[in-house]
Homo-oligomer: A and B are copies of this chain.
Amino acid sequence: MTVAAKNSVKTAAKTSVKTSAKTPSSKPSKTLLDDLVLANKILFHFNVVDAFGHISVRDDRDPQNRYLMSRHLPPGMVTPKDIVTFDMDSNPLTHTDVPQMSERYIHGEIYKMRPDVISVVHCHARPLIPFGTAKGAKLRPLTHMCGFLGCGVPIYEIRDAGGQTDMLVRTAPLGKALAETLSDKAVVLMRGHGATMVGKSIQETVFRAVYSMDNAVVQMQAHALSAGGEVEFLSLEESEKSMGGRNVPRSWSLWKHQMTAGS
């Protein structure tokens, strides 16, 4: 983590404490709600999530103090009316009479720590599980679509933060420990559980979730094909240079097209 990142993290942590618990007086923008619902559908379509997993986004009415996420529901069933407003301590400000995701602290604690993050995905994507459990294995970028993996993919060991648990990040301290393990990276793997991705928009975070999974599939094949020999990954410079550009909007336009055609 760079010094600049550390400082911005500190500032964010301070400001986020001011979160008030009052009910929001207006609705989030329709575009944001629609994108969040669409993101749920896309993540389900590509098997990033099954009945479990969730995506959140900072609330555009008060991005420093609130975020939006579905109530306790499988992502494939989420509609606009299921979107809850949370404060940064992950207390629901709406929909207070229905069950909420027990792992919402993943989202709130990352937003507190990372002012640069606008959206968070938590998932159990199957191809990512081996990279969190096979000792010595490291998820690394094999193609330019996955440059965001280049700066490293830490692994969260919940035993270090909570001892023997049911594996769920169901408290603020466990969420904070996850955010600290994530640090300034794009993806954190969670041993025996899944992964969490962050990005500067819903679109970028969904893109990172889909392509993390993609990279995992191909990387397992590359290691098998090399039979334990050398595999050539992107260099750090190649990773950084390939992260920008038109990849995210182009993927999003296709996925939106596919989800709409299928409905």
User: Which residues of chain A have a CB within 8 Å of any CB of chain B?
Assistant: 50-52, 72, 74, 76-77, 99, 102, 124, 126-127, 129-131, 133-137, 141-145, 147, 164-168, 191-194, 214, 217-218, 220-235, 237-238, 241-242, 244-247, 250-251, 253-255, 257-258
Asked whether A143 lies within 8 Å of B124 as measured between CB atoms, the reply is yes
B51 touches A254 (CB 8 A): yes
Give the residues in chain B near A142, CB-CB below 8 Å: 129, 133, 192
Q: Is the CB of A250 within 8 A of B72?
A: yes
A194-B143 contact in complex given A51-B250, A127-B221, A217-B126, C-beta closer than 8 Å: yes
Q: Which of B147, B226, B235, B254 contacts A77 (CB 8 A)?
A: B254
**A229 surroundings in chain B (CB, below 8 A):** 134-136
Determine the chain B residues whose CB is within 8 A of the CB of A223 once the complex forms: 134, 224-225, 227
Name the distance in Å between A154's Cβ and chain B's nearest Cβ: 15
CA distance A257 to B233 in the complex (A): 40
Q: Nearest-CB distance from A152 to chain B (Å)?
A: 17
Verify B237–A164 contact, CB threshold 8 A: yes
B218 near A167 with CB under 8 A, answer no
> What B residues does A241 contact at CB under 8 A?
164-167
Q: List 24 A-B contacts (CB under 8 A).
A: A50-B254, A51-B251, A51-B253, A72-B250, A99-B246, A124-B143, A126-B217, A129-B221, A130-B221, A130-B224, A134-B225, A134-B230, A135-B229, A137-B225, A144-B168, A144-B192, A144-B193, A164-B237, A166-B241, A166-B242, A167-B238, A192-B233, A192-B234, A220-B221
What residues on B are CB-neighbors of A135 within 8 Å? Answer: 226, 229-232
A213 smallest CB distance to B (angstroms): 11
Q: Decide if A232 touches B191 in the complex (CB within 8 Å).
A: yes
Bound CA–CA A115/B86 (angstroms): 44
Write out the residue numbers on chain B whose beta carbons fall within 8 Å of the beta carbon of A238.
164-167, 192
Among B74, B220, B258, point to the contact of A76 (Cβ < 8 A): B258
The answer to whether A77 and B220 touch (CB under 8 A), given A124-B145, A145-B124, is no
The answer on a CB contact under 8 Å between A218 and B143 is no
Q: Kindly list the 3 A-B residue pairs having the minimum CB-CB distance in the complex, ordered from nearest.
A: A134-B226, A144-B167, A74-B254
A126-B218, A166-B238, A238-B164 in contact; A143/B192 too (CB < 8 A)? yes
Partner of A231, one of B134, B144, B165: B134
Is the CB–CB distance between B167 and A232 below 8 Å? no
